[in-house]
Every structure is written in C-alpha cells, then in structure tokens.
Amino acid sequence: MIFSFQLLFEAILFGILLGCFYAAVSIGLSVAFGLLDVPHVAHPAVLILGAYCTYLLGSYGWDPIVAGLALMPLFFLFGIALYRFYYETFEKRGTDAGVRGLAFFFGIAFIIEVGLILAFGVDQRLVEAEYIGKSLSFGEMRIPLRMLLAFAIALVLTAALTLYLSKTFTGRAIKAVAQDEAALRLMGADPVRIKQWAFGIATGVTALTGALLIIIGPVEPMLDRVYIGRTFCVVVLAGLGSMTGTLAAGLILGISESIVLMHFGASWAPAVAFGLLLVVLGIRPQGLFGR
C-alpha cells in the first residue's frame, strides 16, 4: 500500500460526499426507528422501491429529482397505511411486539424484493439525466456532479427535518411522542395519529432519497440487503432520533468506507458499515449523540 496525501485527501473528500448520501438515505429510518421505536427493517426495501418507481417515471421522460418529489405524497400515504397496519396488529395488542414486529417487517422487505424482481427482473437499472454523467474538475481532481447533488439534498433534508421537529407544532409533538407517549395522552393528544403522521413523513422522504439512490448509481432488487447495514449503522451511530447526529454519523461512515475502498479495494467496503455498527453497539449502544 502506497501512502500519499493526495490519495487520502481525495478519499476524505469523496467520503464526505458519500457520507451525506448515506445520511440522506438513513434519515427516514432515523425518524421511524430512532424517534418512533418501530423496528423498520423494511426501510431499505422501501428505499429501493422508491428508486424503481423513479426509474419507472424516468422511462416516461421524467427528471429523476422531479419524479422523486412527485412520489413523496404517494409514499407518505403508503407509510401511513403501513404504520396503521403495524399499530393495529402489534402495538395495540401490546403482546411481544419485538419478535413478531421484526419478523413482520422482514416479511414485508422480502415481499417488496420479490415484487421488484417479478416486475423488473434481476438486471441493474439506471436513469438518465443531464447532470448524471458530468463532473466538475478542480485541478487534478474530478468530482461527479451527481455526488454534489446528493450532498446538497442531504443538507437540505437534514436542515428541513431539524427545523420541522424543533419549530413547528406537529414536529414538537413527534418529539414529545418519542419522549413520553403516556404523558402526551394525558395532555389530550392522540399519540397514534402523531406517530402515523411521522411515519408517513419518514416514508415520504424515503421516496426522494430513493430517487437519489438511482441517480448515484444503478440499482437492483437485492440491493436493500447491503443498505440494512448502512442505514442502521448510521441511525445507531447517530444516537436514536437525532437529525444532526444522523448527518454526522453518515459522514463518519462515508469517510471510513471511502478510505477502505481506496486503500484495500472494493471487496472490503461492505464490511465497514457492519464492522462499525458492531463496534458502536458493543462500546456505546446509545450512539455518539444519544439522548
């Protein structure tokens, strides 16, 4: 291994961009799992679903970002329906939601996966847009424009959700439901409706980040399995439910993955997220920015 500052610098820069992308795809899970305590292992599958819906709209000539934005309301409704179902069958009965809730979401993930295979086949799919192939060059370095786009969207999403959760009435209610559901009920609010709303937002945001996923690179139906590790790594590392923490955790993952990628090769990269996850779980389960 030859060490060079140029290479390290490039790895870190690329890692920052990649990290923002990881933060963006994890932010929905940060709300669903971090704030609402829903063991949403189907989140990566929903992400891939978003990417494929973008692909579908893209084949009619839609711009991927526009398609992602247009899909948000649809996914919002899907999220509400999914949470409602989860609530009625598991949370309401209150019995042993742990094992069965987890099994339920794994089942959903499998169904989405096979649905995509049946509809689109196992081949990789990608979208086309003007900004996808281009890159900006700074001296010797070239930065793909699509990574900058991911960077920008991640920052906007994080800022928007942080503001939403701290400034608006419903946003604060979501934070309240995460802290103490019983107290909220005593105040006369309905925690289930708030959680349903929050889960809808989490799923809606995932549609847009799914579009981002297919802009960054080609997708295939089984891609969600790698993203289970990445998204949960980011959310756990962030400390459950912290939006700025999610961004910071995404950056940590992105930079470490990119350094491993450049110095040891692509075949080691998938283990980074999971290794980091194990270390964090073993040493500091409440995450770096935990409550």
Partner 1 sequence: MRRLASPFGIGAAATVVLAGVLALGGANEYFFFAGYVVLQFVVLATAWNILGGYAGYVNFGTAAFFGIGAYTSVLLFKSLGAPLLVQMAAAAVVTGLLGFGTGLLTLRLRGIFYSIATVAVIFIAETLMINWRYVGGATGLQLLRPAPMLPFETYTRMLFFIMAVVAVLAVAIARYIEISWIGRGLRALRDTEEAAECSGVPTLRLKLLACTISGALMGVAGAPLPMYLSFLEPASSFSLNYSVVALAGAIIGGTAHWLGPVLGAILLASMQQIVTVTISSEMNVLVVGVMLVVFVVAAPDGILGLIRKLRRPRAAAGKP
Work out how close the CB of 103 gets to partner 1 at its nearest, in angstroms, rounded to a whole number.
Answer: 5
52 vs 126: CA distance, rounded Å: 9
Residue carrying the six token digits 């350094």: 259
Nearer to partner 1, 117 or 136 (CB): 117
Work out how close the CB of 122 gets to partner 1 at its nearest, in angstroms, rounded to a whole number.
Answer: 8
Helix (H) or strand (E) holding 256: helix 243-264
Strand partners, 264: none
Nearer to partner 1, 118 or 186 (CB): 118
> What secondary structure letter does DSSP report for 35?
I
Work out how close the CB of 87 gets to partner 1 at its nearest, in angstroms, rounded to a whole number.
Answer: 12
Work out how close the CB of 249 gets to partner 1 at its nearest, in angstroms, rounded to a whole number.
Answer: 14
Nearer to partner 1, 226 or 288 (CB): 226
Query: How many residues are there in the chain?
Result: 291
Binding residues (CB under 8 A) for partner 1: these are 33, 39, 89, 93, 95-96, 98-100, 102-104, 106-111, 113-115, 117-118, 225-226, 228-229, 232, 236, 267-268, 270-271, 273-275, 277-278, 281-282, 285
Residue 226: half-sphere exposure toward Cβ, Cα within 13 Å? 14
Q: Tokens representing 185?
A: 């009920």
Residue carrying the six token digits 């080609």: 218
Nearer to partner 1, 144 or 275 (CB): 275
Nearer to partner 1, 117 or 163 (CB): 117
147 vs 31: CA distance, rounded Å: 24
Work out how close the CB of 232 gets to partner 1 at its nearest, in angstroms, rounded to a whole number.
Answer: 5
